[in-house]
Each structure stands twice: as structure tokens, then as C-alpha cells.
Amino acid sequence: MYILLKQRRLRWLGHVMRMADGKILKDLLYGELVQGKRPRGRPQLRYKDICKRDLRALGMDINSWETLTADHSAWKLKMQHGLLQFEETFVWQAEAKRQSWNQRNLRAGQGRDCICPQRGNLCHSQIGLSSHTRCCFRTSFQSTIPSSLETEGCLYQAL
């Protein structure tokens, strides 16, 4: 999805660059504030800023992209090549992140013993162990009550 958005944005950027001067879209792309300031903190990104970020992600030079867009076929070829490289690195980074996350979860679970002290059952997590011990306590408590007391103390009788 990210790759498709980058592709569409850069195709539109090339289209706007090939437009004649004086068109409203081209003026908006290159427009600057005459007076006033952008808000303090992190201002919202302009379309031009997002396009520059996409150009950097695809490995294109942000200073010479305007001359490259004049030749439509060269721009398209450079963009497709950059998108393929970006996709490869994106998939590789996602896989590396997934593996590091899985390794971290494995290391976190190795330090703790989640074994039931009464029955010796192995639980996958600490919360699972606490739930299991509550269940064990209930069943062990019920088994210690003599059967004669169970029937005498029962308020509700089965019909």
C-alpha cells in the first residue's frame, strides 16, 4: 500500500512539473508564504515535503529531480527502479523487525517459570499461571470438604 501511494504521488509530481508555467497547480506546488509564519512545533507537512520524503526513500536526488521529469520515459524508468528497490528494502526491514520482535518475546519468556506448584502444569504466561492456580485452589478446596457436609449444608436441592 505504501509503495502504491508513493508511486501515485510521484507520477502526479512528474505530471505537474511538465505543466506550463502559470497553471494553478504548479503555482501551489512552488508557492511560499508571503507573510506570516508556519505554526510552532512540528508543522503539518506540505505536499512538496511529502514528495521530497518519497524521493529520498526511492534513492533519487532531491536537487535534480526537476530536470529528470522533463523526459517522461526517463522519469518513469527511474521511478520504477526506485520503487523496486524500496519494496525490497521495505520487505527486508519488516522481516528483520518481525524476527527481532519474536526473539525478544522468546527471551522474555525464558526467564520466568510458569509452572503450577500443585499439579506441575506448564503455563505459557504469568497471567495464565495465576488463572490456573485459582482454578486449582478451588478444586483442591472442594475436594477437602467431606461429602456428608456437602449434602447437609446445601440450601438448594436438586428436583
> CA-to-CA distance for 124 and 55, rounded, in angstroms?
46
Q: Which residues contact 88 (CB under 8 A, 6 or more apart)?
A: none
pLDDT mean across residues, the chain: 79
> DSSP class of residue 34?
S
pLDDT band, residue 28 (cuts 50/70/90): confident
pLDDT of residue 84: 92
pLDDT tens digits, one per residue of 39-73: 788 877 888 888 899 999 888 888 888 888 888 89
> CA-to-CA distance for 125 and 148, rounded, in angstroms?
38
Identify the residue whose cell numbers are 508557492: 31
Return the ∠ at Cα 158 (arms to 157 and 159), rounded to 5°: 115
Q: Name which of 31-35, 55-59, 71-75, 153-157 the model is least confident about.
A: 153-157
> CA-to-CA distance for 99 and 18, rounded, in angstroms?
44
